[in-house]
Chains A and B, each alone.
Chain A
Amino acid sequence: MLKLLESVGANILSWVNILQGFLSLAGQAFYWIFFGFKRGKPVKRQPVFEQMVFMGTRSVVIVFFVTFFTGVVLAMQSAQQLSKLGGTIYVASLVSISICRELGPVLTALVIAGRIGAAITAEIGSMQVNEQIEALETMAINPVRFLVVPKVVALFFMLPCLTVIGDLSGMFGGYIIGVGNLGINSYLYLQTAFEYLTLKDVYTGLSKSLVFALIIALVGCYQGLNTRGGAVGVGRATTISVVTSFILIIVADCVVTGIYYFSNI
């Protein structure tokens, strides 16, 4: 019994430790982003752009495919139900609203967590086990400023862009089914798709993706910086990073949706 309590206590303690480390990393990153110029070290543009190009080119195709086929599936499944009610045309607005509000941002974020979050952890983790992080510190180069900040800033701008691409390709998937299979007039489909889509649906989705971007980048960097134990450790850290990001993305999705739901913004 005592043993059980002990192990539960130890577990809680280690979680508190992790949370503390994570928050301190986030704090440092924000400090360097907003107050770095005070120390003569503002955020440099070039590394941020490099990261954005790297992140964008690496994931645009996979984002397109995932959301496109989700749009297709969504259209096919809702068509069956809606045709019973004689409202096949509403497939258009159903697809566009659910993609823009929910599926586009979340699916894009999950794809990016698997693609970019893992890459971030693997890169920083292998630098950690090869003494490279320590070398940066010895050269008086702050690793958070040098490595973490460009990645956080780049993903913060890149994920909404990718989300827009995801939204559009998801709606395109719906359009293909609606026009090609259900025989809805192309013009009518587009009109219905955008008629019920409010600006709020779009910015709710995009604001979510900003939160997801911070989660993915910071979790990836945190796991990378805390990698121990050689190549095996890098693999383990990468897995943990992706799993943690997935869970946090879903939780954050719920929280943000809740905020919008209850506050009627």
Chain B
Amino acid sequence: MREKKVAISVVDLVKYFDGRKVLDGITLDIYQGETFVIMGGSGCGKSTLLRHMTGAMRPDSGKVFFGDKDLTTLSEQETENVKRRFGMCFQSSALLDYLNVEENVSLPLCEHTNNFDPKIISMLVKMKLGLVGLSGFEKLMPSMLSGGMKKRVGLARAISMDPEAVFYDEPTAGLDPIVCAVVDKLILDLNKKLLLTSIVVTHNMESVFRIADRVAMLHKGRVLQIGTPDEIKNSKDDIVQQFINGRLEGPINFSENIEDVNFAGES
């Protein structure tokens, strides 16, 4: 087997919210160039895990390595430098709604480079929009776009700085099956064309098996199982089986889950 280099490595990550353990000792390695899928029930801490990997949150204990840099101990300036090396696609797209598509995509470029020729910037933007299949939409405002198009603009923004890795938080949530397939294909394409490492959080079983090189199943803040899609499909674990088949009966009890959710944090 080919020697794989570790791109991101999470070691024994623990995070408490208001005294409740949301991440409970998560350890996983993500290899360079692979598409790594994180799945798990709602509220099991997937987005929180992603936030730790992007340096948006600091853990209570544990480490997150991006390359050889430990994100949990870097200074503010160094964290910024690391942040420029990856992109992130948000669950709600998170485009700035007072900027048009072009300005949104070029925002990281304009902010992180001094006196770039506007012509070069607009060329780069055209190229990125071409990659996500949205050429010609430069001047539209985000409010004029459909959910799927916003997702793709968000994707173009995520790759505008030519990152080494891209994080996707539920890229296909709320999209119709065909657009889902389009977004999935896009993730795979970008992964190949730009040699990206992709980390995808998703609930969507179809896309899991379409895009994943490896899958991690999270449950109650712990990693239940990591493996290839086939290994997950044939898993002996009851929880994993219940989850991927969407069964009502099984070890995951719905009412028990509800008690775990702390609504105070939401209000």
Contacts and interface: CB of A to CB of B under 8 A. Distances in A.
Give the most central of A123, A131, A138, A146: most B CB within 10 Å. Answer: A138
Nearest to A230: B266
A229 B111 CA distance: 29
Interface residues of A, number: 18
Contacts of A135: 88, 90, 94, 96
Interface string B244-267: 000000000000000000000011
Given A138-B54, A141-B111, A229 B266 contact: yes
Interface string B93-114: 0111110000000011001101
A1 interface: no
A134 B90 contact: yes
B235 interface: no
A146 B112 CA distance: 12
B111 A139 contact: yes
A90 to B, nearest CB: 50
Contacts, number: 52
A130 B107 contact: no
A207 B165 CA distance: 51
A130 B94 contact: yes
A140 B88 contact: no
B83 interface: yes
Contacts of A87: none
A127 interface: yes
Interface in A125-168: 127, 130-132, 134-141, 146
A132 B80 contact: no
A40 interface: yes
A132 B95 contact: yes
Nearest to A136: B96
Nearest to B79: A140
Give the most central of B84, B87, B108: most A CB within 10 Å. Answer: B108
A81 B171 CA distance: 72
Nearest to A132: B94
Interface string A102-141: 0000000000000000000001000100111011111111
Interface string A35-61: 000011000000000000000000000
Contacts of B6: none
B56 interface: yes
A132 B84 contact: no
A119 to B, nearest CB: 12
Contacts of A140: 79-81, 83-84, 108, 111-112
A138 B88 contact: yes
A77 to B, nearest CB: 44
A229 B81 CA distance: 31
Contact of B56 (A130, A137, A146): A137
Interface of A: 39-40, 123, 127, 130-132, 134-141, 146, 228-229
5 contacts: A132-B96, A134-B90, A138-B56, A139-B83, A140-B83
